[in-house]
Structure 1
Amino acid sequence: MRIGLVGPSSLLRKTLSAVAELEDVAFVPLEYVLPREAPDLVDRNQNDLDAVFFCGSIPYCICLDSVRRSVPWSYLPLRTTGLLVALVNAREHLRGRVRMSVDTLSESEVREGLEDCSLDIDAIFTHEFDFTHVSVEEIAKFHLALVAEGKVDICLTCVEAVHRSLLGKNLPAFRVTPARQTIRSAVERLILEVRGQSNTLLLSVVGVFRPEAPFEGRRQYEEAMLKLNGSLVEYAKRRGILAIPRDSSSFQTIETMGQFLLGTSDLTDVSFLSGMSAACGFPVVAGFGVGPSLRIAEEYAAKAADVAREKGKTCYLFDGKSARPLGMSREPAMLFSHFDAEIDGLGKRMGLATPTLCRYVQGLMCFDGTFTASEFAKIVGIQPKSSRKVMNMLLEAGLVRECGVLSYAGRGRPQRLYRATEDAFRFHSRTLTGGGGDVEERSRV
């Protein structure tokens, strides 16, 4: 068995040392300097491997969003026991009450990891970020600003590139790394999962969790979100899956279809959600999406959560074609209205969820003539930088064509002009019959 190890040099050395005694397994180091280099490494090498192991959740999430998984993947979970080691190394900088900045981990995780120690904690500043768009510079600036303002005495980071950057600026920075036993256990679990996996079981499943209750004021809402976060983190630890903040109103879990089927007893047992609601003291609504990429699965999950809230059900699983109520085998599935296989196929080739592709096509129809990427961004509600990427995708799919540039006298670079093609109009006529993303109750055929 050949397993690729993806990570920075220091963690690769530690991982190789921790698994040196495992028999009948050859480990192939795939080293990167920055996490954003991981997708290219995995894409070029995974077909020659039996599995891929990521030395951290950040490169794992980045690859989930951009690389189609063809073999089992797993990642090294961050255990808060690594905090204690980092604090021991930082003891010369600790004077009185501890003030620290921490990235990657949430404040509740940090406090939980330190609750059994005798340290007097004064302040903990944590940095939450989008796992699919990791910026080493942004994380380093977070720590640097807090030190410059005199708010913290030490910086704890889980990202090696950030650690090197902070040390280069002579900041009191210390690295949080998992213990050798944690590494070995995670790799052994991956080895057990390798056998018997199918392509369907390797699909990404994202769960979106939201509190479903009225709250009086901002403080009560924030307390509710902390309770939901704590309950979700505890659930994820028991399952061995990833749980991270999604936005200001929801959290998400990330796992494979194989893990999800095991965790729900083949989609029949969702008692964990009622247990979560009981622990929080308010109802929790959830939706799960399954797809070939993290982005598509997340969009499907958000749709499933909306359906669960509208229908007053516990939760749904949505795969772009039908939304299935979980834990209620006699309930009919909700089919994607007028599901169009051609539109769905094009969306998958472009890496877009079908509702998103339909929204983009409908956005193209808002222009009578030519338009720029910035104008398109305003119509469909995305960032201009993202719009340029979307326009390239639409160009490759033959839904738009370039037809000149728009120049402004004396300021800025020229902007490309685009026009919708006949194929775009053809697809739009099909979305008018229902391909835009609604679901309706119909019996499963």
Structure 2
Amino acid sequence: MSKIGIVGPATSVERILSIIEKSKYTNMEFIPFPYNEIYETADIVKNNYAKVKGWLFSGPAPLMMAKKALGSNDNLSYCPGIGAGIYRSFMQIAYHQKKLVNRISIDMVDGADDVHESLLELGIPNSDMIIKLYDHTVSLDELAQFHLQLIKAGKTDAAITSLDSVYTVLKKENILVYRNTPTTMEIRQAIKIIVEKVTASYFKNTQVGLAILQVENFDEMIEKIKTPYGLQYLELDIKKLLLKFCEDLDGYLVEKGRGRYEIYSSRGSIEKKFTPLKNVINQLSLETDCAISVGIGFAETVFTAELNAHKAVQHAKKRQNGIVIIEDGGQLIENAGDQDELTYSYYSNDKELLSRLNQANISIKTFKKIEAVIRRMDWDSFTSAQIAAKLDVTDRNIRRIFNSLCEIGLLECIGETDSNMRGRPSKIYKLNALSPKTPIS
């Protein structure tokens, strides 16, 4: 049975649990983690990380704290406080005050949702509202003072806050304040999302994982070793290093000979041990004075995982001490675990796209790789030199590919760089979405 932690103020946690009780999640256990102050969130998730498979937070503020503490957004969800929640706050103010109150101060986590859009949908001018967006560095006192000073200066008549602690402070000051809390429907949706995330993660983690490590130029390395005993000692050292890693991984080591080793485990175990695996690769490279190619295959079956791993290690041979992963479904990940990690698909079922690329004599893998760089860098426009630098290939080669992509309508030249710069101006391109209306040349 998978466990999910519920984090938030005690009243919010109790409300979420009461909604869960009315639903049927027989394969999930929900554990309450109430806090007195929101800043306790970081310690809660760090100290209990191994006890649960996912986290559900009462709002965007504790989620923000958790993401900062864990450095990851995996299996995290929250109950949104914008949309129906903000509408309810305005209706409560109007009902209790028997009139429409327009001058209101609102605090909201930056990036949680578009509060301005919600106000426009209500038909309330933004000029009547004073909104404070905050991040994890803000103090509760700062938020409370934001509302208090506006009220005392006569600039606002009421306050809406997303934090229970700020609500309590303002109530003690006899300020007209309302909590922006999610509705029951929004909480149900958030519960559904985290349950689906945890379930998907379970099946993903139980996939078969195979890592192939290949010592490159193995024959040349043998020639440098003066005695047969030297080679045997080296192979024993390599095997000892890999066996220690397999023990931590709960994996199974197979020595294939000629510098090739295979490690069988689960996807979840391998993904959790990426940093130790990179350390092992570096140690092997130092021990052997050779580059180490690593290819990892993930799949539902051992057979498919082996196929993916063999393709991945062939791809990794072109790189030095990097990890290449091929997932079940055709996703290829270069430099896995590094800052310059790049994910793209090496095949496609799009017949029109394949037809165009075939006409231009460009592989789907090459196109998807270029497309992945553009998406990752979030470039609206780019030059061939920029792409060449990211892919570590020559500008001349990329220019040739770009010329072909322009001919088939997948790329468009939209201008040139400043001609006052030294050398010839470079062409500026943009990526075109594939459209059935665009004719094939």
TM-score, length of structure 2 as denominator length: 0.44
Bigger CA radius of gyration: 2
